[in-house]
Amino acid sequence: MGIVVSKPQHRVSLGSILDNSCETIQEISVRTVYRFGKIIGAGHFGVVREAFSSDSSLKVAIKSISKGASDYSRAKVLREVKMLKSVDHPNIIRFYEAYEDEKSIHVATEYCEGGHLWGRMLKKVKYTETEAQVLINQILMAVNYLHLHKIVHRDIKPENFLFISPDHDELKLIDFGFAKKYNKFLSMHKQLGTSYYIAPEVLKGNYNQKCDEWGIGVIMYTMLYGEMPFYCQDLFFTFDKIKRGSFNTTSDSWNQISSTGKDLIKKLLSVNPSKRISAKKALNHEWFHIFADNNPLIDSSLIVSFQEYCKSSLFCKELLNLMIKNITFDELRELNKLFIKLDEENKGMISTKQLQKHLQSSSISISEKKIKELLKEIDTDKDGNINYTEFLAAAVCSKHHFSQEEIWAIFDLFDIERKGFITANDIRRTIKREGCALDKDVESKLIKTIEKKEAKIDYKRFLEIFMNGIQK
C-alpha cells in the first residue's frame, strides 16, 4: 500500500482534474501503471482487483468503474474521488490515485487483506459484547468523523467494512458511491442503500445523515443477537418491519444482551430520526465503559520522533506526509491504536491541548514550553488539531527506515514529466494535485526556499535533502 509511480505518459491523477473540472482526462491504459492480480470484488459498477505497481511490489486495490454501467456517471465518480481525497481517518480507506481509459475509470486505494465484516459475521454467527464493542466502536468513529465533515455515507452495512488483515480487528470503511455532502437545511430524498440496512425515513423519501446510525444499529443487533432484525424473504414485509421499527426483544438471545447493550441498540434503531442517537453521543454511551480505563501510554521514543520531525525542513515534513502511504499497516498498527486512544473526542483528530495534556502527565521529562513548540510544528496546516497523517508522519520520523525505493517513489511523484530533476513549480503542482493540507503562508515559504537556493533538484540532491532533513 503506498504511492504508486509510473512512466509519465501513462500516469494521471484526478487531483488536478478535480481542481479544474474543465480539463480533459488523459486516455491511458491502467495496465501500464499496474500489474493486475485476481478479482476480489464485483458489482453493478464493475470489479475490484488486487494490483501491484509496475515499478515496485506495492500492493493496492483498484476499483474499475465501467462506463457502460447503466447508472454510470462521470460526475458521480469524480465526486466520490474528491470525497475520498478529503478524508483522513484510521478507520476509512485511504485513496491513492485515479486513472481513466476508454472503458473505465480506475480508482486505486489501500489494500485490505482481511475480507469484509459480513464474511466474519457469517462464520461467527454471534459475538460476545466485548468482541462487538471493539468493532462497533470503530464503525461509530468512522461515521462520526464523516458527519463532523458534513458527509453522509448512505450505505452503512457490514460488506462496506474491510479488515486490514485476517488476524486483526482493524476496520476500514469503503465504497463512497452513495456518499454526499450535506447541511442542516438540506433533506435528501433519493432512496439509496441496501434493503436490510435501509432506514425507515429513507423508504419514505425524506431523510438526513441519521440514516447512517440506523445501519450501525442493524449491524450491532445482528452481532449480538445472531440474526438480522428486519429480515424477511419477502421485501414487502422487510420494509414494513423497518417502517414500524419492529424487531425481536422477547427471545432468550435478546435477554442475554446486557441492559446497556439493549439500550444502545434501541437508541440506534429509533424509528424517529430526531430521537435516534448520533454517532458522537453513541461513542460516549455507557456500553463502551470498557474503553474508559485504557489510558494511552506515551513513551520517550515518541518524543524523540516528534523532536526529529520538528528539526526537519518544511520540504521534508511534506515528504514525510506523502511517504506515510508507503508504510505497511503492520508497521503503523501500534501508532494507529495510540492515535485512536489520544483522540478522546472521537473527531478523527487530536487537539493540541489533548496531546499536551497526555505528554505532561507522562513520566517523560520535558517542559511545557517545549511541548507547545513541538505541537505547533507538527500541526502543519495550523488548524489547532493534529490529523491522522500529521500524527503518523511525526511519529515515524525517527523510527522508520525509509528505503531508496520509497524515496524514489516520492521523487517521481514530483517529477511527473520524468525530466530527471524537479523545480519549485513541480513542487507547487504536486502539492495541489495530491491535496496536501498546507497553510498558504507555509506553502509560499516552502516554494521560496526552493527557488532561492536551487532552481533544479536532481535525485541525488533530493535524497541528500531528505536524509539530512535540512534545506541549504
Residues with a catalytic annotation lie at 155
Rounded distance, CA 389 to CA 324, Å? 7
Q: Is 311 known as a binding-site position?
A: no
Check residue 421 and give left, alpha or beta (phi > 0: left; psi -120 to 50: alpha): beta
**Residues 238 and 205 sit within 8 Å (Cβ to Cβ):** no
Helix pair 129-148, 211-225: axis angle to 10 deg: 170
Q: How far is CA 451 from the centre of its chain?
A: 34
Residues ≥6 apart with Cβ < 8 Å to 69: 44, 45, 46
Output 374-383 pairs: Cβ under 8 A, ≥24 positions apart. Answer: 374/303, 374/306, 374/307, 374/310, 376/352, 377/309, 377/310, 378/306, 378/309, 378/310, 379/352, 380/317, 380/318, 380/321, 380/437, 380/438, 380/439, 380/442, 381/437, 381/438, 381/439, 382/439, 382/442
Rounded distance, CA 67 to CA 115, Å? 27
Feature table: binding site: 63
Feature table: binding site for ATP: 63
